[in-house]
Amino acid sequence: MGFYFKFQKLLEIEKLKEECLVKELKLLQKQLQDDEKMLTLLQSVFTMQQGEMEKELRKPQEATVFVLFEVYFAKLRRDMEAQGAKIKESAKKVDLAREKLLVVFKRRKVLEKLRERQEKEYKEQMLRLENKNYDEIATSRFQFKKIFK
Can you list the domains of the chain with their CATH numbers? 8-113 (1.10.287)
Q: What is the pLDDT of residues 24-63, one digit of tens each?
A: 999 999 999 999 999 999 999 999 988 888 887 787 777 7
The secondary structure of residue 59, as a DSSP letter, is S
Positive or negative, the CA dihedral 59, 60, 62, 67 is positive
Q: How many CA atoms lie within 13 A of 98 on its CB side?
A: 7
Looking at residue 75, its pLDDT comes to 94
Which residues in the chain land under pLDDT 50? Answer: none
Residue type, 51: G
Looking at residue 149, its pLDDT comes to 67
